[in-house]
């Protein structure tokens, strides 16, 4: 599916030690890219690195620690990255948590909104100086079909006025989609070449599908294999969004099958009203305030 040679490209993938991120990393390394696995658990990252290199012995893979549920870790990662590298071709905001019991990040955010959206918002802003100076750079942010029917609960972002895990997961994935679109709008507004895109894997059997912190029972896994597509297929929209040269930025890539649950990557049009400019601006302003990360769109 991925034809072009990516030799010389430097790519950061968050949460790349399993699932969609790992499968995308395998392909990108195979095509010659230098891939940085930005992961919370560096031991699992080391295992993922071995897995990737077992299929690509000459590949270039680096593991770096990043906990998106801790803004100090996000800042530390960005600082470490900038001290080692002066370019960034592609940032893939892939990591995510799904329907945990109510809990908060180190900074007091609801875990799903804090990790899935705010952590990536901060990371992207902190790495923007390198993206700006790297020709044809991209930011790819993973959303989900769970964004459908969701809304941003500005009066209850931390879940303190009531929490339903799936509702808050949908909110975080809607935030991912709106962030990707608003970022692309602002990049274009300031005449920047960096592109921002969103994608989603359809419904893939990854380790997001856990019950609490436990693996799903065997019969659930059997059903998942029957109805869901494997992670390597779920990674195709990510790879397409990250590398397809015909994309202009601002697109949303998902599977082309029924309900966009499985299939091959295509440009998907979200339902009418999803891209509400007032909501996107408000989300952007709130995100900057909560994270303390202000985006610099100047040409410097």
With a CB cutoff of 8 Å and minimum separation 6, the contacts of 164 are none
> Which residues are the active-site residues?
163
Angle at 258 between CA 277 and CA 170, to 5 degrees: 40
Adjacent-strand bridge partners of 36: 12, 62
Q: Are 238 and 142 spatial neighbours (Cβ–Cβ below 8 Å)?
A: yes
* pLDDT at residue 211, as a whole number: 38
Residue holding tokens 């390394």? 29
Q: Is pLDDT of 268 > 60? A: yes
Q: Are 137 and 90 spatial neighbours (Cβ–Cβ below 8 Å)?
A: yes
| Cα(175)–Cα(128) distance, integer angstroms | 19
Q: How far apart are the first and last CA of the chain?
A: 36
Q: What is the DSSP letter of 271?
A: P
Average pLDDT in the 151-176 region? 97
Percentage of residues of the chain with pLDDT beyond 90? 81
Average pLDDT in the 274-300 region? 94
Q: Is pLDDT of 73 > 90? A: yes
pTM for the whole structure? 0.92
* pLDDT at residue 210, as a whole number: 43
CATH class of segment(s) 10-291 = alpha beta
Average pLDDT in the 246-269 region? 88
With a CB cutoff of 8 Å and minimum separation 6, the contacts of 77 are 38, 64, 65, 66, 123
Lowest model confidence (mean pLDDT) among 31-45, 138-152, 220-234 = 220-234
Q: How confident is the model at residue 208 (pLDDT cuts 50, 70, 90)?
A: very low
Q: Are 19 and 202 spatial neighbours (Cβ–Cβ below 8 Å)?
A: no
| Alpha helices by DSSP H, the chain | 19-30, 42-55, 71-84, 111-112, 120-133, 165-189, 218-227, 231-234, 236-243, 277-291
* pLDDT at residue 218, as a whole number: 62
Average pLDDT in the 173-191 region? 98
Cα–Cα separations (whole angstroms), residue 85 to 187, 274, 277: 22, 37, 35
Average pLDDT in the 251-259 region? 85
* pLDDT at residue 213, as a whole number: 43
* pLDDT at residue 258, as a whole number: 74
| Cα(222)–Cα(242) distance, integer angstroms | 31
Query: In this structure, what token pair is assigned to residue 194?
Result: 């960096």
Q: Are 155 and 103 spatial neighbours (Cβ–Cβ below 8 Å)?
A: no
Question: 79-119, pLDDT tens digit by residue?
Answer: 999 999 999 999 999 999 999 999 999 999 999 999 999 99
* pLDDT at residue 240, as a whole number: 96
* pLDDT at residue 146, as a whole number: 87
Nearest to 143 by CA among 2, 255, 12: 255
Q: Are 271 and 254 spatial neighbours (Cβ–Cβ below 8 Å)?
A: no
Question: 209-243, pLDDT tens digit by residue?
Answer: 443 445 555 655 555 555 566 777 889 999 999 99
């Amino acid at each position: 599916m991925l034809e072009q040679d990516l030799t010389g490209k430097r790519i950061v993938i968050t949460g790349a030690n399993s699932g969609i991120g790992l499968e995308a990393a395998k392909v990108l390394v195979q095509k010659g890219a230098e891939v940085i696995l930005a992961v919370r658990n560096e031991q699992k990252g080391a295992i993922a690195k071995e897995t990737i290199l077992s299929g690509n012995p000459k590949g270039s893979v680096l593991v770096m620690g990043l906990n998106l549920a801790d803004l100090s870790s996000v800042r530390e990662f960005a600082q470490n990255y900038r001290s080692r590298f002066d370019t960034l071709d592609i940032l893939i905001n892939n990591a995510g948590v799904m329907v945990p019991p109510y809990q908060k990040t180190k900074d007091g955010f609801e875990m799903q909104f804090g990790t899935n959206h705010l952590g990536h918002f901060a990371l992207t802003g902190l790495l923007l100086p390198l993206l700006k100076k790297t020709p044809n750079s991209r930011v790819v942010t993973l959303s989900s079909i769970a964004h459908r029917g969701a809304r941003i609960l500005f009066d209850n972002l931390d879940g303190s006025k009531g929490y339903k895990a799936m509702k808050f997961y949908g909110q975080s994935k809607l935030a991912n989609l709106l962030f990707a679109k608003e970022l692309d709008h602002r990049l274009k507004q300031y005449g920047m070449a960096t592109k921002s895109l969103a994608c989603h894997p359809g419904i893939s059997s990854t380790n997001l599908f856990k019950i609490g912190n436990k693996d799903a029972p065997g019969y659930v896994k059997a059903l998942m294999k029957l109805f869901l597509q494997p992670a390597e297929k779920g990674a195709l929209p990510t790879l397409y969004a990250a590398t397809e040269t015909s994309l202009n930025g601002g697109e949303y890539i998902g599977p082309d099958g029924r309900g966009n649950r499985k299939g091959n990557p295509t440009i998907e049009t979200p339902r009418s009203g999803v891209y509400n400019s007032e909501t996107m601006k408000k989300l952007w302003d709130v995100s900057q305030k909560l994270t303390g990360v202000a985006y610099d769109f100047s040409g410097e």
